[in-house]
Chain A
Amino acid sequence: MSKTISFHLQKGGIGKTTISGTLACQSALEGHTTLLIDVDPQGNASSWFCKSELKWELADVLQGFCFFTDAIVEITKVPNLFLLPTFGIGGSLKKYAETKIADEPYVLQDLVHELVTSFDRIILDLSPGLGKLERSALIASDEIITPMTPEVFSLDGLEIFIDELEKIRKNLRSSVRHEKIIINSFDGRIRQHKEIYEAAMSGSFEVFKIPVDPAFRKSQERNIAPQLFKYRGRGLKPNTLRAIEKINDKIWR
Protein backbone atom coordinates (compact mmCIF):
# COMPACT_ATOMS: atom_id res chain seq x y z
CA MET A 1 0.00 0.00 0.00
CA SER A 2 1.30 3.43 -0.96
CA LYS A 3 2.07 6.03 1.69
CA THR A 4 2.52 9.82 1.48
CA ILE A 5 4.71 11.73 3.92
CA SER A 6 5.35 15.46 4.38
CA PHE A 7 8.36 16.65 6.31
CA HIS A 8 7.26 19.91 7.81
CA LEU A 9 7.80 22.64 10.36
CA GLN A 10 6.94 26.22 9.46
CA LYS A 11 10.38 27.38 10.62
CA GLY A 12 13.01 27.80 7.92
CA GLY A 13 16.50 26.30 7.85
CA ILE A 14 15.78 23.10 9.75
CA GLY A 15 16.47 20.72 6.88
CA LYS A 16 13.09 20.03 5.30
CA THR A 17 14.43 19.80 1.75
CA THR A 18 17.61 17.99 2.77
CA ILE A 19 15.65 15.37 4.70
CA SER A 20 12.90 15.04 2.06
CA GLY A 21 15.47 14.61 -0.72
CA THR A 22 17.74 12.30 1.25
CA LEU A 23 14.93 10.00 2.38
CA ALA A 24 13.41 9.97 -1.12
CA CYS A 25 16.80 8.80 -2.40
CA GLN A 26 17.13 6.20 0.37
CA SER A 27 13.69 4.78 -0.36
CA ALA A 28 14.43 4.66 -4.10
CA LEU A 29 17.87 3.11 -3.59
CA GLU A 30 16.22 0.36 -1.54
CA GLY A 31 14.07 -0.49 -4.57
CA HIS A 32 10.79 1.33 -3.92
CA THR A 33 9.27 3.47 -6.65
CA THR A 34 9.43 6.85 -4.95
CA LEU A 35 8.06 10.20 -6.03
CA LEU A 36 9.35 13.47 -4.61
CA ILE A 37 6.85 16.28 -5.13
CA ASP A 38 8.38 19.73 -4.90
CA VAL A 39 5.71 21.87 -3.21
CA ASP A 40 8.19 24.69 -2.53
CA PRO A 41 7.84 27.68 -4.90
CA GLN A 42 11.60 28.17 -4.59
CA GLY A 43 12.09 24.73 -6.16
CA ASN A 44 15.23 23.72 -4.25
CA ALA A 45 14.52 19.99 -4.36
CA SER A 46 14.03 20.28 -8.13
CA SER A 47 17.30 22.11 -8.72
CA TRP A 48 19.06 19.57 -6.47
CA PHE A 49 18.09 16.58 -8.62
CA CYS A 50 17.41 18.10 -12.02
CA LYS A 51 19.73 20.27 -14.06
CA SER A 52 18.02 20.12 -17.45
CA GLU A 53 15.29 22.60 -18.39
CA LEU A 54 11.81 21.11 -18.32
CA LYS A 55 8.50 22.13 -19.83
CA TRP A 56 5.98 21.29 -17.13
CA GLU A 57 5.87 21.67 -13.36
CA LEU A 58 3.59 20.90 -10.40
CA ALA A 59 1.59 24.12 -10.78
CA ASP A 60 0.75 23.16 -14.38
CA VAL A 61 -0.60 19.80 -13.21
CA LEU A 62 -2.66 21.45 -10.47
CA GLN A 63 -4.17 23.89 -12.95
CA GLY A 64 -4.91 21.21 -15.53
CA PHE A 65 -2.46 22.50 -18.15
CA CYS A 66 -0.89 19.05 -18.47
CA PHE A 67 -1.22 15.49 -17.12
CA PHE A 68 0.96 14.46 -14.20
CA THR A 69 2.66 11.97 -16.51
CA ASP A 70 3.85 14.92 -18.64
CA ALA A 71 5.43 16.70 -15.68
CA ILE A 72 6.98 13.85 -13.69
CA VAL A 73 10.63 13.20 -14.55
CA GLU A 74 12.77 10.17 -13.80
CA ILE A 75 16.00 10.89 -11.93
CA THR A 76 18.40 8.69 -13.84
CA LYS A 77 21.24 8.94 -11.31
CA VAL A 78 19.00 7.40 -8.63
CA PRO A 79 17.13 4.30 -9.79
CA ASN A 80 13.39 4.28 -8.87
CA LEU A 81 13.37 7.99 -8.01
CA PHE A 82 10.92 10.34 -9.74
CA LEU A 83 10.38 14.06 -9.33
CA LEU A 84 7.36 16.27 -9.85
CA PRO A 85 9.27 19.54 -10.13
CA THR A 86 8.69 23.19 -9.41
CA PHE A 87 10.59 25.89 -11.27
CA GLY A 88 12.25 28.41 -8.98
CA ILE A 89 12.58 30.78 -11.93
CA GLY A 90 9.74 31.16 -14.41
CA GLY A 91 7.48 28.88 -12.40
CA SER A 92 3.93 29.65 -11.33
CA LEU A 93 3.47 27.74 -8.04
CA LYS A 94 3.86 30.89 -5.93
CA LYS A 95 1.25 32.78 -7.95
CA TYR A 96 -1.07 29.77 -7.92
CA ALA A 97 -0.70 29.52 -4.12
CA GLU A 98 -1.49 33.21 -3.72
CA THR A 99 -4.47 33.35 -6.03
CA LYS A 100 -6.21 30.04 -6.64
CA ILE A 101 -5.46 27.43 -4.01
CA ALA A 102 -7.73 29.09 -1.44
CA ASP A 103 -10.69 28.03 -3.58
CA GLU A 104 -9.50 24.44 -3.92
CA PRO A 105 -7.70 23.32 -0.72
CA TYR A 106 -8.11 19.65 -1.64
CA VAL A 107 -6.37 19.93 -5.01
CA LEU A 108 -3.13 18.33 -3.80
CA GLN A 109 -5.06 15.63 -1.96
CA ASP A 110 -6.88 14.77 -5.20
CA LEU A 111 -3.58 14.66 -7.09
CA VAL A 112 -2.00 12.38 -4.48
CA HIS A 113 -5.00 10.04 -4.69
CA GLU A 114 -4.29 9.67 -8.40
CA LEU A 115 -0.55 9.22 -7.91
CA VAL A 116 -0.73 6.47 -5.28
CA THR A 117 -1.61 3.94 -7.96
CA SER A 118 1.71 4.62 -9.73
CA PHE A 119 4.16 5.04 -6.83
CA ASP A 120 4.96 3.00 -3.72
CA ARG A 121 6.00 6.03 -1.73
CA ILE A 122 5.41 9.76 -2.09
CA ILE A 123 7.28 12.55 -0.29
CA LEU A 124 6.12 16.15 -0.32
CA ASP A 125 8.79 18.80 0.11
CA LEU A 126 7.25 21.98 1.50
CA SER A 127 8.45 25.54 1.88
CA PRO A 128 8.70 27.18 5.30
CA GLY A 129 5.48 28.74 6.57
CA LEU A 130 1.97 27.51 7.16
CA GLY A 131 0.00 29.19 4.40
CA LYS A 132 -2.69 27.78 2.16
CA LEU A 133 -0.25 25.84 -0.02
CA GLU A 134 1.39 24.14 2.95
CA ARG A 135 -1.97 23.36 4.56
CA SER A 136 -3.18 21.84 1.32
CA ALA A 137 -0.04 19.69 1.16
CA LEU A 138 -0.32 18.63 4.80
CA ILE A 139 -3.86 17.32 4.39
CA ALA A 140 -2.77 15.47 1.25
CA SER A 141 -0.39 13.41 3.40
CA ASP A 142 -0.95 10.29 5.47
CA GLU A 143 1.69 11.43 7.94
CA ILE A 144 3.64 14.57 8.81
CA ILE A 145 7.12 14.16 10.24
CA THR A 146 8.67 17.24 11.78
CA PRO A 147 12.34 17.95 11.23
CA MET A 148 13.85 20.36 13.73
CA THR A 149 17.24 21.61 14.80
CA PRO A 150 18.14 21.27 18.48
CA GLU A 151 17.67 24.90 19.49
CA VAL A 152 15.06 27.05 21.14
CA PHE A 153 13.47 28.61 18.03
CA SER A 154 12.75 25.15 16.65
CA LEU A 155 11.08 24.25 19.96
CA ASP A 156 8.95 27.38 19.68
CA GLY A 157 8.19 26.38 16.10
CA LEU A 158 7.14 22.87 17.12
CA GLU A 159 4.86 24.22 19.85
CA ILE A 160 3.17 26.53 17.33
CA PHE A 161 2.96 23.75 14.73
CA ILE A 162 1.26 21.30 17.13
CA ASP A 163 -1.31 23.97 17.94
CA GLU A 164 -1.90 24.95 14.29
CA LEU A 165 -2.10 21.35 13.12
CA GLU A 166 -4.93 20.71 15.54
CA LYS A 167 -6.89 23.52 13.89
CA ILE A 168 -6.04 22.26 10.40
CA ARG A 169 -7.25 18.77 11.31
CA LYS A 170 -10.50 20.17 12.62
CA ASN A 171 -11.18 22.77 9.91
CA LEU A 172 -10.19 20.61 6.96
CA ARG A 173 -11.54 17.32 8.41
CA SER A 174 -8.15 15.69 8.23
CA SER A 175 -6.85 12.69 10.14
CA VAL A 176 -3.20 13.19 9.15
CA ARG A 177 -0.82 11.67 11.71
CA HIS A 178 1.95 13.59 13.47
CA GLU A 179 3.88 11.21 15.69
CA LYS A 180 7.52 11.50 14.69
CA ILE A 181 10.20 14.17 14.86
CA ILE A 182 13.69 14.21 13.41
CA ILE A 183 16.34 16.20 15.25
CA ASN A 184 18.61 17.35 12.45
CA SER A 185 22.25 18.50 12.64
CA PHE A 186 22.60 16.74 16.00
CA ASP A 187 26.00 17.00 17.65
CA GLY A 188 26.37 14.75 20.69
CA ARG A 189 29.24 16.89 22.01
CA ILE A 190 26.91 19.83 22.57
CA ARG A 191 25.04 19.76 25.88
CA GLN A 192 22.05 21.71 24.55
CA HIS A 193 21.56 19.11 21.79
CA LYS A 194 21.68 16.22 24.28
CA GLU A 195 19.24 17.93 26.63
CA ILE A 196 16.72 18.62 23.89
CA TYR A 197 17.02 15.06 22.56
CA GLU A 198 16.49 13.58 26.04
CA ALA A 199 13.47 15.82 26.67
CA ALA A 200 12.01 14.84 23.29
CA MET A 201 12.50 11.15 24.07
CA SER A 202 10.42 11.55 27.23
CA GLY A 203 7.38 12.75 25.29
CA SER A 204 5.00 10.87 23.04
CA PHE A 205 6.88 11.49 19.78
CA GLU A 206 9.02 8.85 18.17
CA VAL A 207 12.33 10.68 17.95
CA PHE A 208 15.09 10.25 15.38
CA LYS A 209 18.32 12.16 14.99
CA ILE A 210 20.55 12.91 12.04
CA PRO A 211 24.12 13.90 12.85
CA VAL A 212 25.61 17.11 11.54
CA ASP A 213 27.32 16.21 8.26
CA PRO A 214 28.81 18.58 5.65
CA ALA A 215 28.32 16.00 2.90
CA PHE A 216 24.63 16.97 2.62
CA ARG A 217 25.45 20.48 1.41
CA LYS A 218 28.19 19.22 -0.89
CA SER A 219 25.90 16.64 -2.50
CA GLN A 220 23.33 19.37 -3.14
CA GLU A 221 25.97 21.54 -4.83
CA ARG A 222 26.88 18.63 -7.08
CA ASN A 223 23.25 17.63 -7.89
CA ILE A 224 23.61 14.12 -6.52
CA ALA A 225 22.02 11.90 -3.86
CA PRO A 226 23.90 12.28 -0.53
CA GLN A 227 24.23 8.49 -0.34
CA LEU A 228 26.05 8.45 -3.70
CA PHE A 229 28.20 11.51 -3.05
CA LYS A 230 31.92 10.93 -2.76
CA TYR A 231 34.67 13.52 -2.84
CA ARG A 232 38.28 12.37 -2.49
CA GLY A 233 36.89 9.04 -1.31
CA ARG A 234 34.72 10.61 1.41
CA GLY A 235 30.94 10.85 1.52
CA LEU A 236 28.36 10.77 4.28
CA LYS A 237 29.73 9.62 7.64
CA PRO A 238 28.89 6.01 8.61
CA ASN A 239 26.79 7.35 11.54
CA THR A 240 24.78 9.52 9.20
CA LEU A 241 24.18 6.66 6.78
CA ARG A 242 23.02 4.44 9.64
CA ALA A 243 20.66 7.17 10.88
CA ILE A 244 19.13 7.59 7.41
CA GLU A 245 18.69 3.85 6.99
CA LYS A 246 17.01 3.61 10.39
CA ILE A 247 14.61 6.47 9.68
CA ASN A 248 13.77 5.07 6.25
CA ASP A 249 13.12 1.68 7.80
CA LYS A 250 10.68 3.10 10.38
CA ILE A 251 8.73 5.82 8.61
CA TRP A 252 7.09 3.80 5.84
CA ARG A 253 5.47 1.21 8.13
Chain B
Amino acid sequence: MALKKNTTIEENEDSVSAQKAKELFKKTTKKKKENKVLTTFSIEPSFKSELEEMFADMGLGWAAGIRFALREYIKKYRE
Protein backbone atom coordinates (compact mmCIF):
# COMPACT_ATOMS: atom_id res chain seq x y z
CA MET B 1 0.00 0.00 0.00
CA ALA B 2 1.37 3.41 -0.91
CA LEU B 3 2.46 5.75 1.83
CA LYS B 4 -0.18 8.34 2.56
CA LYS B 5 0.58 11.93 3.46
CA ASN B 6 -0.32 12.79 7.06
CA THR B 7 -2.24 16.03 6.82
CA THR B 8 -2.72 16.38 10.58
CA ILE B 9 0.94 17.28 11.22
CA GLU B 10 1.29 21.02 11.50
CA GLU B 11 3.94 22.35 9.17
CA ASN B 12 5.07 25.02 11.56
CA GLU B 13 5.66 22.62 14.41
CA ASP B 14 9.08 23.03 16.05
CA SER B 15 11.74 20.56 15.03
CA VAL B 16 13.31 18.37 17.71
CA SER B 17 16.42 20.52 17.76
CA ALA B 18 14.37 23.73 18.02
CA GLN B 19 12.48 22.28 21.00
CA LYS B 20 15.72 21.16 22.58
CA ALA B 21 17.32 24.58 21.98
CA LYS B 22 14.35 26.43 23.48
CA GLU B 23 14.39 24.18 26.52
CA LEU B 24 18.14 24.54 27.02
CA PHE B 25 18.39 28.28 26.57
CA LYS B 26 15.27 28.91 28.66
CA LYS B 27 17.31 27.63 31.62
CA THR B 28 19.90 30.31 30.96
CA THR B 29 17.47 33.22 30.58
CA LYS B 30 18.77 36.54 31.82
CA LYS B 31 17.59 37.66 35.22
CA LYS B 32 15.51 40.80 34.83
CA LYS B 33 17.21 43.85 36.26
CA GLU B 34 15.22 45.04 39.22
CA ASN B 35 14.40 48.67 39.85
CA LYS B 36 16.02 50.02 42.98
CA VAL B 37 13.97 51.17 45.98
CA LEU B 38 14.93 54.22 47.95
CA THR B 39 15.85 53.55 51.56
CA THR B 40 17.06 55.82 54.37
CA PHE B 41 18.83 55.27 57.63
CA SER B 42 20.64 57.42 60.15
CA ILE B 43 24.34 57.17 60.90
CA GLU B 44 26.89 58.97 63.06
CA PRO B 45 28.60 61.74 61.03
CA SER B 46 32.11 60.56 61.97
CA PHE B 47 31.33 57.01 60.89
CA LYS B 48 29.79 58.33 57.67
CA SER B 49 32.94 60.33 56.89
CA GLU B 50 35.07 57.27 57.59
CA LEU B 51 33.00 55.18 55.19
CA GLU B 52 32.91 57.90 52.51
CA GLU B 53 36.68 58.15 52.61
CA MET B 54 37.08 54.40 52.21
CA PHE B 55 34.55 54.22 49.35
CA ALA B 56 36.24 57.14 47.60
CA ASP B 57 39.54 55.23 47.73
CA MET B 58 37.76 52.37 46.00
CA GLY B 59 36.35 54.74 43.37
CA LEU B 60 32.80 54.38 44.71
CA GLY B 61 30.23 56.97 45.70
CA TRP B 62 28.17 56.77 48.90
CA ALA B 63 25.26 54.64 47.59
CA ALA B 64 27.43 52.37 45.42
CA GLY B 65 29.79 51.89 48.35
CA ILE B 66 26.99 50.91 50.72
CA ARG B 67 25.57 48.45 48.16
CA PHE B 68 29.02 46.96 47.54
CA ALA B 69 29.75 46.61 51.25
CA LEU B 70 26.43 44.92 51.92
CA ARG B 71 26.86 42.49 49.04
CA GLU B 72 30.33 41.57 50.30
CA TYR B 73 28.91 41.07 53.77
CA ILE B 74 26.20 38.72 52.46
CA LYS B 75 28.81 36.71 50.54
CA LYS B 76 31.02 36.35 53.60
CA TYR B 77 28.12 35.62 55.94
CA ARG B 78 26.86 32.84 53.64
CA GLU B 79 30.30 31.26 53.41
Is the pair B28, A205 in contact by a Cβ cutoff of 8 Å? Answer: yes
Which one of A150, A151, A159, A199 contacts B22 once the chains associate, using CB atoms below 8 Å?
Answer: A199
- The CA of A199 and the CA of B26, in the complex, are separated in Å by 8
Instruction: Answer yes or no: B15 CB below 8 A from chain A CBs.
Output: yes
Instruction: Answer yes or no: B77 CB below 8 A from chain A CBs.
Output: no
Is the pair B24, A158 in contact by a Cβ cutoff of 8 Å? Answer: yes
- The CA of A205 and the CA of B29, in the complex, are separated in Å by 8
- The CA of A204 and the CA of B29, in the complex, are separated in Å by 5
Binds B, one of A31-39, A87-95, A116-124, A189-197: A189-197
The chain B residue with its CB closest to the CB of A159 is B24
Number of interface residues of A (CB under 8 A): 18
- The CA of A151 and the CA of B21, in the complex, are separated in Å by 9
Instruction: Pick the 10 closest A-B CB pairs, nearest first.
Output: A203-B25, A199-B21, A195-B18, A203-B28, A152-B17, A196-B21, A204-B28, A204-B30, A199-B22, A155-B20
- The CA of A190 and the CA of B21, in the complex, are separated in Å by 15
Query: CB within 8 Å of A: which of B19-54?
Result: 20-22, 24-31
Number of interface residues of B (CB under 8 A): 16
- The CA of A52 and the CA of B25, in the complex, are separated in Å by 44
A172 contacts which chain B residues (CB < 8 A)? none
Instruction: Answer yes or no: B16 CB below 8 A from chain A CBs.
Output: yes
Is the pair B15, A199 in contact by a Cβ cutoff of 8 Å? Answer: no
Chain A interface residues toward B at CB < 8 A: 150-152, 155-156, 158-159, 162, 191-192, 195-196, 199-200, 202-205
Is the pair A203, B26 in contact by a Cβ cutoff of 8 Å? Answer: yes
A-B contact pairs, 21 of them (CB 8 A): A152-B20, A155-B20, A156-B20, A162-B28, A195-B17, A195-B18, A195-B21, A196-B18, A196-B21, A199-B18, A199-B22, A199-B24, A199-B25, A200-B21, A202-B22, A202-B25, A202-B26, A202-B29, A203-B28, A203-B30, A204-B30
B10 contacts which chain A residues (CB < 8 A)? none
The chain A residue with its CB closest to the CB of B22 is A199
- The CA of A150 and the CA of B25, in the complex, are separated in Å by 13
Instruction: Answer yes or no: B79 CB below 8 A from chain A CBs.
Output: no
- The CA of A196 and the CA of B45, in the complex, are separated in Å by 57
- The CA of A202 and the CA of B31, in the complex, are separated in Å by 12
B17 contacts which chain A residues (CB < 8 A)? 150-152, 155, 192, 195-196
A204 contacts which chain B residues (CB < 8 A)? 28-31
Is the pair A191, B30 in contact by a Cβ cutoff of 8 Å? Answer: no
Least CB distance from A56 to B in Å reads 41
Instruction: Answer yes or no: B14 CB below 8 A from chain A CBs.
Output: yes
Is the pair B30, A155 in contact by a Cβ cutoff of 8 Å? Answer: no
Which residue, A150, A162, A204, A205, has most C-beta atoms of chain B within 10 A?
Answer: A204
A196 contacts which chain B residues (CB < 8 A)? 17-18, 21
Is the pair B28, A192 in contact by a Cβ cutoff of 8 Å? Answer: no
- The CA of A151 and the CA of B8, in the complex, are separated in Å by 26
Least CB distance from B29 to A in Å reads 6
Which one of A156, A159, A162, A195 contacts B15 once the chains associate, using CB atoms below 8 Å?
Answer: A195
